[in-house]
Amino acid sequence: MSTHYIPKDLRGETRILMIFTVKSLITTAIFGGIGVICFLIFQALQMTVVGVIILALLALLGYGFGTFKIPKISGWEFTKNIEGDSMDEIFLRFIKFKTNKKVYSYTKEDK
C-alpha cells in the first residue's frame, strides 16, 4: 500500500526561523529599519546603549504588530468587531477608512 502526501492549508502562515511568519518578518524588518535609523542618530550622539535599546524595542513592537491577534474583551464593546484580526489588518482598514472620507450607514427597511 502506498502513502500519499496531503498538503496542509497554511493560508500564508508559513514559518521562517521557527518564530516568524512572512508577515511578522516583514513588519519586524520595517520597524527594525526605523530602529536602525534611531540607533545611528543616538550613536552619533555617543549614546549607543540608548540606540540599541530603542532598536530592540522597535523590532519587538514590529514582531508583535505582525503576529498577535486582537482578542474579544467583554468589557470593551469595540473588540467584538475586530476579534481575531491582526494589528496590521486593523491599521490598514483604518487608513482606508480615513482616506475614503465617506461614512456608510445601514438602516433596516420595514416592509
pTM of the model: 0.64
Contacts of 40 (CB under 8 A, 6+ apart): 51
CB 17 within 8 A of CB 60: no
Q: H or E segment at 15?
A: strand 15-16
pLDDT score for 52: 94
Query: At how many degrees (to 10) do helices 48-67 and 87-100 cross?
Result: 80
The rounded distance, in Å, linking the Cα atoms of 18 and 68 is: 16
pLDDT tens string, the chain, 111 residues long: the values are 667 666 665 555 566 666 777 888 888 899 999 999 999 999 999 999 999 999 999 999 998 888 887 777 777 776 677 777 778 777 877 788 788 766 565 666 655
* CA distances for 78 relative to 50, 71, 73, angstroms: 36, 11, 9
Cell of 47: 549614546
Cell of 67: 503576529
> 20-23 long-range CB contacts below 8 Å, 24 or more apart?
20/63, 21/66, 21/67, 23/66, 23/67, 23/86, 23/88
